[in-house]
Structure 1
Amino acid sequence: MGLVIWADGRLVEQGQGALSAVDHGVTVGDGVFETCTVFDGQVFALTRHLARLERSARGLGLAAPDLATVRDGVDTVLAEARRAAGDFDGKVRITVTAGPGPIGSGRVPGAQTVVVVAQESGMAPTSRSARSPWTRNEHSAVAGLKTTSYAENVVALADAVAKGGDESIFANTAGLLCEGTGSNVFVERGGELVTPPLVSGCLAGITRALLLEWGAEAGLPVREAEPDELPFAVLDEVALGEAQLALTSSGRNVQPVTWLDGADVPVGPISAAARELFEKLCRERLDP
């Protein structure tokens, strides 16, 4: 199955023109997006993703997206994708931009652009991660928002891939553990699985939130860290095998890290249990 693309009310072929050359999402990255997992041809946690799409739009100063239009796009690409591939596993990306605008940062109020894309894909069971040489700015105007201004993530991920990894992990400007380029981070140590708090500047990940909820429900010792509890140097403990690491995201579910900065590292028992729990519940609870 190739990409299935829906743009502003119509299906378009890959490579076919779909956006204005002066769409603000293209010229200055003025837009927000969500990437949702698809299980057996159905979108997982769509309600939570649409709520975050609205929050990101408000944070960026955009008008609230028309969620009826977004849902129509999602339904259309899923139906087309199922015709091609049956009940596939993969992902759906929803992008909402400020629409056509000037060649510059100023906006012209008007209709937004909505694009929805479906793609068949799988998930790797583990990750190979590298520490980023750059930091995440927790004081940024877009900290914690899921925007299309993704250049620093592209650069950091390319750095990790060049080193042999598949994810790059950021500190914030205070030297605290923050997040990956497209994932949240959990550290297993002291018999607990702990994730940086949102004040670190990390994204409020959907998978992160569900793991905290489902883990507590199942009796797993999973929690959010205190503000200064996880310095970036905690990754030294991971490298020494004294702590373990896991990533969460819609493209990973719960993914233990088995390689950090060129060295193999062990998977923690709580991380493994968290992955098993999430793999089970995500297919049982389609829209939690």
Structure 2
Amino acid sequence: MSIVVWVDGSFVEPRERALSALDHGVTVGDGIFETCAVYGGQAFALTRHLRRLGRSAAGMGLPAPDEARIRDGVAQVLAAAGESAGRLRITVTGGFGPMGSGREDGEETIVIAAGPASPGPTSRAVRSPWVRNERSAVAGLKTTSYAENVVALADAVARGGDEAILANTVGELCEGTGANVLVEVGGELLTPPLSSGCLAGITRELLLEWAAEDGLPVREAELPFSVLDRVVAPGPDDGASSGVGLALAGSVRNIQPVVALDGVAVRAGELSLAARELFDRRRRERMDP
């Protein structure tokens, strides 16, 4: 299945030039986006994603996105994509703007695209040499200013991984380039709080809610980046790992236990596996929880 693209009400070819060369999302990254998993031709947790899109717009100082127009575009794109689609991306930019950082009043640009996705059940992560700025003007917002994520992920891939994990500027564990992080330690699955500068992930949010309902010990906690040293520390028995597990949470990937960190094989933790099973089971119950 090819990628289906809809721009401001019209379908375009994936490689067709469909935006103004002076669209502010292109020139300065003045835009926001959401990515949803797609199951059976339907976008998962669309309402939560649109709610976060609105929060990102407010944080960027952009007008509230036209939700009715976006929902209509989503319906058109998913109908055209068919049931083989696995991923949906909604992008909203500030529209036409000047060549500099200033804005002009104008109509937003909306781009909606759907395409295939084939996430694996596990991940191979790499610790990034770069950090997330938890005091940035756009900390916690899902913006199209994604260059630092592109660089960090390319570095991770070059080192044999499929995701990079970043600290923040004060040495706390923060997040991945496209995922939240979960550390299994002391009989709990811990994820950094939003104060760390991480994104308020939809998968993270749902896991915290569903784990509380099902009695799985998952909660927020501040963690030093150095906790990852314990993930790769030799275990007392066979040396495979120390028993401190690691997992990633994100749309499309859902919950992925990490089975290698910096090229060192590690065990998928029992709680990480239980969280993956819990999320897979609960997300099948409701398409828009």
**Deviation of 1:89 (Å):** 4.6
Give a deviation string over 1:135-181, Cα, whole Å, max 9, x none. Answer: 00000000000000000000000000000000000000010000000
What is the total number of aligned residue pairs between the two structures? 281
Alignment partners' CA distance in 2, 1:69 and 1:112:
11
Structure 2 length-normalised TM: 0.96
**Deviation of 1:251 (Å):** 2.3
| Aligned position for 2:236 | none
Alignment partners' CA distance in 1, 2:184 and 2:208:
13
Alignment partners' CA distance in 2, 1:91 and 1:224:
28
Give a deviation string over 1:173-216, Cα, whole Å, max 9, x none. Answer: 01000000000000000000000000000000000000001111
- Aligned pairs (5 A) from 1:22-101: 22-82=22-82, 87-101=83-97
Alignment partners' CA distance in 2, 1:159 and 1:123:
20
Alignment partners' CA distance in 2, 1:89 and 1:5:
12
Task: Say which SS state the counterpart of residue 16 (structure 1) adopts.
Answer: coil
Alignment partners' CA distance in 2, 1:201 and 1:14:
33
- Aligned pairs (5 A) from 1:2-17: 2-17=2-17
Task: Say which SS state the counterpart of residue 185 (structure 1) adopts.
Answer: strand
Alignment partners' CA distance in 1, 2:64 and 2:199:
19
**Deviation of 1:88 (Å):** 2.4
Structure 1 unaligned segments of length 5 or more: list them: none
Instruction: Between 7-16 and 199-208, report the one with greater CA deviation.
Output: 7-16
The answer (yes or no) to whether the contact 2:78–2:85 under 8 Å persists in 1 is: no
Runs of 4+ deviating beyond 4 Å = none
Whether 1:252 and 2:253 are equivalent positions in the alignment is yes
Q: CA RMSD in A?
A: 0.7
Q: Which amino acid aligns with 2:46?
A: L
Task: Say which SS state the counterpart of residue 169 (structure 1) adopts.
Answer: strand
Task: Say which SS state the counterpart of residue 144 (structure 2) adopts.
Answer: coil
Report % sequence identity. 67
The one of 158, 164, 177 equivalent to 1:162 is 158
| Aligned position for 1:263 | 264
Structure 2 unaligned segments of length 5 or more: list them: 234-240
Give a deviation string over 1:100-142, Cα, whole Å, max 9, x none. Answer: 1111100001100000000021211000000000000000000
